[in-house]
Amino acid sequence: MKLLALETSTENCSVALLNEDKITFKSELAPQHHAEIIIPMIDALLKESSLTKNDLDGIVLSQGPGSFTGVRIAASTAQGLALGLDKKVALVTSLEALAIEALADSNKTPDYVVSSIDARMGEVYLAVYKYVNNSLELLDEERVLKPEDAITLIKSLLNTDNYLLAGSGVAVLQKYGFDSDTQVSADFPQAQFILEKGKELFEKGKTVDASQALPLYVRNEVTWKKVSEQHH
């Protein structure tokens, strides 16, 4: 299977290629320049593997949450490629990408992984995963919260000190008194870490059409849910 993964939800822009069993990737810290560099990065990555876009079996999109502009860039690029190639898209969240990376970086087997991205404006994106049978299970849901509320939620979901921390939001939580001896791993979500999950989704047929390769904002979804609940 040949899959291309895209991740642009933070200051870091990354693209990764799964070519059968081999993973190659490009990653660049380039705030505000994702739109300019993502296509050249994809082209260079394919060229290095002597592949063209037509060789791809599908796209893996890290759909956010993160910077609103950033998540839109990866989503629109994924849509364009999937539409042009008539291929499907597998969706992974940026918070899960962080959790997968934290697991890869760690030499311990945790019970939980806490992923958090700085959402600016005094908030953080948060997801807490239970790690069971080599897979991550999302507890609760992805949320955007004030740091103090995030800390309360983390404490209510974790019943052990055996966990990993990942992402830029952890530093924000620490400023608000989140006290932990656990080292933070995985500063930014990276495309190479979502390829395996993407492949699994393709193998299970859990993919979407190009038109459904949409950014995950989290913020808007919360208000949308409230509006839709009012109509039911």
- The domain segmentation of the chain, as residue ranges, is 2-93+189-219, 107-185
- Looking at the structure, give the CATH architecture of the domain made up of residues 2-93+189-219: 2-Layer Sandwich (3.30)
Q: Which two tokens stand for residue 203?
A: 């193998």
The tokens of 67 are what? 């910077």
- pLDDT on residue 225: 46
Q: What is the pLDDT of residue 34?
A: 96
Q: What is the CATH code for 107-185? A: 3.30.420.40
Q: Is the pLDDT of residue 192 over 90?
A: yes
Integer-rounded Cα Rg, in Å, for the chain is 17
95-145 tens-digit pLDDT: 999 999 999 999 999 999 999 999 999 999 999 999 999 999 999 999 999
* CA–CA distance, 226 with 4 (Å, rounded to integer): 35
Quote helix, strand, coil % in the chain, to nearest 5: 40, 30, 30
The per-residue pLDDT for 230 is 46
Tokens of 47: 């060229």
Q: Fold identical between 2-93+189-219 and 107-185?
A: yes
